[in-house]
A and B are shown apart, each in its own frame.
Chain A
Amino acid sequence: DSGVTQTPKHLITATGQRVTLRCSPRSGDLSVYWYQQSLDQGLQFLIQYYNGEERAKGNILERFSAQQFPDLHSELNLSSLELGDSALYFCASSVAGHSPLHFGNGTRLTVT
């Protein structure tokens, strides 16, 4: 068990809808990362937060947004969903900087 908790485990929704994925980092970790894993793109970095502030941005679509709350949990919001957004979404946390990342079990999103 990595100590990173993601909910829900599975999500099935229709095109055009909006969903929210939730992540609780390991106790003591200040950084939260979001990654998307799809069959054709591999593991892609989306966005990172550190202690509530956005720190780095990757290949995150404008339809996607995230935030980190004062209790350090994070949410990833995906809107106007398309079939191509179907993927496994991972959250990871770390203490800070370049320290090791620990991944949650992911949320499998299916858009129909």
Chain B
Amino acid sequence: GIQVEQSPPDLILQEGANSTLRCNFSDSVNNLQWFHQNPWGQLINLFYIPSGTKQNGRLSATTVATERYSLLYISSSQTTDSGVYFCAVFPQGSGYALNFGKGTSLLVTP
């Protein structure tokens, strides 16, 4: 099946810093989503971004489908950004299951 690799696995930032999270996938996809799992376990939809660039406040994402990667940018990080960020993809032509990467665990310190 499709491989979804996220890097880095862990990240510690000071409040106010910027960061870039990466997601590589091994095959063509129909859909790509970024999620934030907060410390309470909730999975929050950040972006639905099969291709192109989107922005939502301090967060933005870019997917280059032809090169099979996506980037999540977090600017001016806040302690509330802490948690785990997951990339998930729907592989082309193989059913309808969203396949998750292992996530990037982010800790933002004051």
A45 & B99 in contact (Cβ 8 Å cutoff): yes
Contact of A56 with B by CB under 8 A: yes
What B residues does A100 contact at CB under 8 A?
31, 33, 45, 48
A90 to chain B, nearest CB (A): 7
A98 & B100 in contact (Cβ 8 Å cutoff): no
B102 & A42 in contact (Cβ 8 Å cutoff): yes
How many chain A residues have a CB neighbour from B under 8 Å?
A: 24
Complex CA–CA separation, A80 to B88 (angstroms): 31
Contact of A68 with B by CB under 8 A: no
A48 & B86 in contact (Cβ 8 Å cutoff): no
What A residues does B100 contact at CB under 8 A?
42-43
B102 & A102 in contact (Cβ 8 Å cutoff): no
Digit string of A70-105 for contact with B (CB within 8 Å is 1, else 0)?
000000000000000000101010000111111101
- By beta carbon, the residue of chain B nearest A100 is B48
Asked if A98 meets B31 with Cβ closer than 8 Å, knowing A43-B100, A45-B97, A48-B96, the reply is yes
Contact of A16 with B by CB under 8 A: no
* Among listed B14-22, B35-43, B62-70, B73-81, interface-contacting one: B35-43
B60 to chain A, nearest CB (A): 17
Digit string of A8-21 for contact with B (CB within 8 Å is 1, else 0)?
00000000000000
- By beta carbon, the residue of chain A nearest B97 is A45
A112 to chain B, nearest CB (A): 20
A-B contacts, 21 of them at CB < 8 A, read A33-B98, A42-B103, A43-B88, A43-B100, A48-B96, A48-B97, A55-B96, A56-B95, A58-B97, A88-B41, A98-B30, A98-B31, A98-B90, A100-B45, A101-B45, A101-B88, A103-B35, A103-B42, A103-B43, A105-B42, A106-B41
